[in-house]
Structure 1
């Protein structure tokens, strides 16, 4: 097995184009909203997007992971079509139910997540149900394309929707159309609708589509196995999304939309785009780790990915800390400079998250439903507790950001121990020295940024940057040395 074979390299490049192309377009979209509507507009736009994401994850049993793994582990085309038939039926039913519930319960959802009873917001949430229904179809299509490794169609589908959203937002900004919740939701309807159309077209182009379209679904026992894993994946993925949704709703309730918008700018620049980077890696990593049959193959696959993700993540995080002021001005506007406090702290949690994702994927690959469920629930309950404590005791953006560091560190400790327990070749010393060396300078910079000038001088900043660069280079050298 080769982690990056000739086909794998080409697939990784096209898949990365889709993920990062979509990420770039979303990033430009946030900049348009920042100039058009300011921090309050960004806060509302982000919360509506988070609501749509939570509903979509609930309707698709946790996103694309269950689909990708179910297709990737089946080698026979007929078995794949049986799996797709069952998955499509279940997702269609759950998606319809979620959309109906959102439509009926729109007033309650608006009050709970947006701290408002405004009729315009209630109407927008009802329209958001349509966006969710379209996003469910798009998510199913993207999962199938990913499972078949149909990367060109996958990339086209991923980029097309956000591009349509950007054109709508840019036009509204250019023509100085007033910002309304309905218009923001309309951009999501357009985005997810275009993605769904292109995704369906890509699925229809798969060779097996015409040949095996008449096959029945999985047997009852096979369906139960799929549902058991999918439901565990659902609860794990939904717990993360709902936790973020609750935290944002608490921020809006206690600090207002402007504060939420400033926090979300720092969050988007760190966690949001780290997640997209990991999603790009997952298109190659999860199927290969699932297919690894020996401890040696597992070790090689995990370490190679861990060193690559960690090395690239450290380099990017240190660059963001160094260039945070011009970066925020470029990607948002000078009104968002306070988001630099968020960025300084969240980069630490991001490095923990990136590494824990690599190790934690073994839970998905081995389909350990109980561990997947309990570990994610514990992580997000801890996150909710630290965020609530921070909002009740402190008033700064920086304090809220620290609430994300501790839960992600504890989860990192757990998944490294889990991987070592499942595969004794995955020794702790292979990753911990790099993690400690890579994060200590960031801890110092985050804590010293409000300290006396001597503690945060140009020399100390330069020294910390040099250490970060050295750690990144060491990780990438280790990546090259892992034999496959």
Structure 2
């Protein structure tokens, strides 16, 4: 009876914070998402000049280099940047400063070792990578020069993990904003000066800038220390490698899948066509990702803290889905309606061929906003096998769907394949995680998802209309309804309406 009373009191206390949960999710989505908006604005300017100076061919080459470096980094970093966050957050919660200092030293030691491994691997494999991706050895030197980028990306992941584990979200936001500004300031002059030959210098210099910013932010709490020759310290890091093994395997599979799709496009079509796919992918996927920025930094630690409490886990997941869907649906509707204008603004008219692909791919981000919060369950539970199997399943379907779509339909087929692959992932994750972890989607959450998806389909139909009048009229109505439903939930479940009223009143009083 005493246990039941204590449990009931705990549930009651938890439920009293039900409204605060929406506020919490929205707060950190807003903080990091707001920074991402600034990042996107900087990217818009950067991509505009990049398109002008190096064209579709150059953008295709830059993306291929990026994906290859990402694949090598994911293959050699052992997932330390992800696996370290969980234990850091636990030590921070308990206030064990001495253990924290030692664990940070452990993280930096292992990230330095894996960074060196990544650089050497990239250097050795550069001729093979050139032949694999482009069918010749002309870019072998370029791949070899990516070695420092691979190393710094791994080191950057370690410093970012420290900031996440210590919950330094505001500092992370500041670093992200400054990094976006400096990246733009470096990229534009180099591409103007060197053209396509500036791809490697741009990748190296921008990675260096972002790494140094994260290093500076993390060393404010913990001065940089490593123990490369400490057997005790090295042996204690084995648990990180074990925990991160599934994450790293999933990263390898994901990067390999992306690289495989782009290599197929280059070999069967052209590098310019791959550049158009990259532009469409960037427009829909990369810019829409700003909605997900709080997932790793805030949501994952909260879900992990729920432990074996199924009710608390389901509550957190449903709230996260609600917020992601209510932000994603209106964003996608408005974004797709304005795509032709956005492409002219961000790129050049030759990139307008990416519009059909982007429209067909829009569904993938909506599906992701539903299944992403659920997919974190396996990581929060430390169930690496399930996580790896689900990632492998998605990657196989992704490659098959996108390649088949591109083969039979060109760019728009690739976009449709991307959406269908994510729909499959949603169904698979929902089915498996409901059975294994007891996940249940609330009826209200399900209704919101279905309603907003229906509105998104109508919005995409409007965006595909060739007549501007019909597009604006129908699309405007659909966007208004979608945004109105989202605002209604925010108004009822959070304090955003009260804050907006107070802000408006303060402004009026000043006048």
TM-score greater than 0.5 by the shorter chain = yes
Pairing partner for 1:440 from 454, 469, 473: 454
1:205 and 2:220 are equivalent in the alignment: yes
| Cα 1:72–1:267 shift into 2, 3 Å | same
1:74-103 deviation digits (Å, cap 9, x = unpaired)? 332333334333333332222212211211
Aligned to 1:362: 377
- 1:117 is paired with a residue whose SS is coil
1:386 and 2:397 are equivalent in the alignment: no
Pairing partner for 1:277 from 291, 297, 310: 291
Q: How far apart, in 1, do the equivalents of 2:326 and 2:79 lie?
A: 28
Aligned to 1:338: 353
Aligned to 2:154: 136
Q: Using the TM superposition, name which of 310-319 and 67-76 deviates more.
A: 67-76
- 1:73 is paired with a residue whose SS is helix
Aligned to 1:106: 126
Contact conserved, 1:83 with 1:218, CA < 8 A, in 2? no
Q: How many residues align?
A: 473
1:281-332 deviation digits (Å, cap 9, x = unpaired)? 4311111111124333323322222111110001110111111111111222
Unmatched segments (≥5 aa) in structure 1: none
Q: How far apart, in 1, do the equivalents of 2:116 and 2:32 lie?
A: 29
1:170 and 2:170 are equivalent in the alignment: no
Q: How far apart, in 1, do the equivalents of 2:72 and 2:429 lie?
A: 27
Larger radius of gyration, structure 1 or 2? 2
Aligned to 1:29: 46
1:314 and 2:334 are equivalent in the alignment: no
Aligned to 1:79: 99
Displacement of 1:462 in angstroms is: 4.7
- 1:427 is paired with a residue whose SS is coil
| Cα 1:6–1:467 shift into 2, 3 Å | closer
Aligned to 2:318: 303
Pairing partner for 2:443 from 419, 429, 437: 429
Contact conserved, 1:248 with 1:260, CA < 8 A, in 2? yes
Larger relative contact order (C-alpha < 8 A, sep ≥ 6)?
1
Contact conserved, 1:416 with 1:428, CA < 8 A, in 2? no
Q: What are the within-5 Å matches in structure 2 for residues 53-72 of structure 1?
A: 53-62=70-79, 64-72=81-89
Pairing partner for 2:114 from 75, 94, 98: 94
1:261 and 2:279 are equivalent in the alignment: no
Q: Normalising to structure 1: TM-score of the pair?
A: 0.86
1:338-393 deviation digits (Å, cap 9, x = unpaired)? 22112211111111012211111112111110110000010011111112222333
- 1:367 is paired with a residue whose SS is coil
CA RMSD of aligned residues (A): 3.4
- 2:195 is paired with a residue whose SS is coil
| Cα 1:133–1:425 shift into 2, 3 Å | closer
Displacement of 1:421 in angstroms is: 3.6
Contact conserved, 1:45 with 1:184, CA < 8 A, in 2? yes
Aligned to 1:149: 167
- 1:64 is paired with a residue whose SS is helix
| Cα 1:323–1:11 shift into 2, 3 Å | closer
Contact conserved, 1:161 with 1:192, CA < 8 A, in 2? no
Aligned to 2:306: 292
Displacement of 1:28 in angstroms is: 2.5
Q: Using the TM superposition, name which of 134-143 and 328-337 deviates more.
A: 328-337
| Cα 1:363–1:331 shift into 2, 3 Å | same
Contact conserved, 2:127 with 2:140, CA < 8 A, in 1? yes
Unmatched segments (≥5 aa) in structure 2: 1-13, 496-511
Q: Normalising to structure 2: TM-score of the pair?
A: 0.82
Aligned to 2:507: none
1:401-424 deviation digits (Å, cap 9, x = unpaired)? 111112211211233334434564
Contact conserved, 2:80 with 2:107, CA < 8 A, in 1? no
- 1:301 is paired with a residue whose SS is helix
| Cα 1:471–1:5 shift into 2, 3 Å | closer
| Cα 1:424–1:218 shift into 2, 3 Å | same
- 2:358 is paired with a residue whose SS is helix
Displacement of 1:444 in angstroms is: 5.1
Displacement of 1:440 in angstroms is: 3.1
Displacement of 1:128 in angstroms is: 0.9
Displacement of 1:232 in angstroms is: 0.5
- 2:146 is paired with a residue whose SS is helix
- 2:199 is paired with a residue whose SS is helix
1:88-134 deviation digits (Å, cap 9, x = unpaired)? 3332222212211211221211121234432xx22221111111111
Q: How far apart, in 1, do the equivalents of 2:251 and 2:493 lie?
A: 29
Contact conserved, 1:247 with 1:387, CA < 8 A, in 2? yes
| Cα 1:5–1:357 shift into 2, 3 Å | closer
